[in-house]
Chains A and B, each alone.
Chain A
Amino acid sequence: MLALLWKDLLLEFRTKERLSSLFVLALLIVLVFVFALSPEQIQGPEVEAALLWVTLVFAGMLSLQRSFLLEQERGCFSGLLLSPIDPGTLFLAKMLGNVMFLLLVEVIVAPLSLTFFGVPFSGSLVMLPIVVLLGTVGFSALGTLFAAIAVRTRAREVLLPIMLLPLLVPLLIAAVKVTSAVLSGEEWNGMWFRVLLAFDIIFVVTGWLIFSQVVQE
């Protein structure tokens, strides 16, 4: 599994295509929000949390599109499947790869966008990385599964968001709620945290179990 993960990371670090394009795209989405809403309107933790997550979701979608594309185009995926690797392991490796890419982008984009939105950096922000991590894991779990599906269909660019976005609704609501609580420094509702955690656990396990059905040739 580590070897698989290493392969993906190595490929990326040789080219840096995905990371650089993701970073620029995320930055552009933030800018579009600022121009569309005007900076004065982006105020209050709720709006800021919402914009942050919309940015991450759409940038993440692009990253997912790419995650199976290289292998599909050059037929490497069949090779991977022929090797004696358990499909569940393959899923976990792919998912972790996606999580890491997204985290690398988020580490830059999240502070940057919060700066653009004028959020003061205070002590309560230490919880933000945890929330972002939980959100990213859930997103990547479902995302990896459906990216693997979408890449083998026609119309893959449209199908991925269409399948993924409705299923992400609980994650998105919970992530925005927790993030906005963190940004405002309030005591948060532990329920939201549990929804996030439950989402992560349920879909990582389901993805791990069901992935063999997806990659069967």
Chain B
Amino acid sequence: MKRFAPFADNVLPWLTLTTMIAALAMVFLYVPNERVQGLVQRIFYFHLPSAWNTFLGFFIVAGAGASYLWQGNRFFDLLAQAAAEIGMVFCTIVLITGSIWARPIWGVWWTWDPRLTMVVVLWTIYAAYLLLRHLGGDTEQIARYAAVLGIIGVLDIPLLHIAVRLWRGIHPKVDKMAPEMLWTLLMCTVAFLCLFTWMLWLRLRSLSLREEITTLRRQAVATA
């Protein structure tokens, strides 16, 4: 964590800012309108990277959880918690942007398409994870339980994917994209990845500071 700190504190915010401005510029100025859907389609450039971040969050939660169970290193527990919180934010963004897009294109705010269903179920798993942490308190036991939930959650994803796909399907498949669109999507993905990493870093640092304060306070009480 210490080795990453100079980069995260000095470079990452600027990197996020630059790429985000570039991404915005490309979304609004550079990329052409989609032929059928028109202007609304541009929300897709924020929608898809957010969805990727949602999944990324899930894998970090599970991976960090597994590492925590294995090694008992507190850092991994904090990482899992931070990733769950940030993942939840992006998951919510996916649902909201998807809704805004679906209204003019599909004519409804919500429909039970497999991917929508999947994301809303993922949202509830994130919610369960955060509630377990919130209601359980900050103990070592809860940290282990949360890790178990994170791992089971990730194992559930492939099954969920198959189940909802067999269940029904109308989500647009992206077949061919104009090169401008592809570049814009790429830029947005990079920007969102930077944003994700930066947010994760900030949350991780605040969590470990909180931890440090708790330890110090405990020591102070012990000495007094």
Contact = CB atoms under 8 A, between A and B. Distances in A.
Contacts of B162: 170, 191, 195
A159 B148 contact: no
Given A167-B125, A173-B164, A174-B163, A206 B152 contact: yes
B163 A163 contact: no
A215 to B, nearest CB: 10
B159 A162 contact: no
Interface in A132-161: 142, 145-146, 149, 152-155, 158-159
Best-buried of A155, A170, A192, A202 by chain B (most CB within 10 Å) = A170
B159 A149 contact: no
A174 B128 CA distance: 22
Nearest to B140: A216
Interface residues of A, number: 34
A30 to B, nearest CB: 25
Best-buried of B141, B144, B153, B162 by chain A (most CB within 10 Å) = B162
A214 B163 contact: no
Nearest to B142: A153
A177 B135 CA distance: 35
Interface in B134-193: 135-137, 141-142, 144-145, 147-149, 151-153, 155-156, 159-160, 162-164, 166-167
Given A152-B141, A159-B135, A173 B163 contact: yes
The B contact surface, by secondary structure, is: helix
Contacts of A171: 159
B69 interface: yes
B166 A202 contact: no
Contacts of A142: 152
B136 A206 contact: no
B153 A159 contact: no
Interface of B: 69, 121, 124-125, 127-128, 131-132, 135-137, 141-142, 144-145, 147-149, 151-153, 155-156, 159-160, 162-164, 166-167
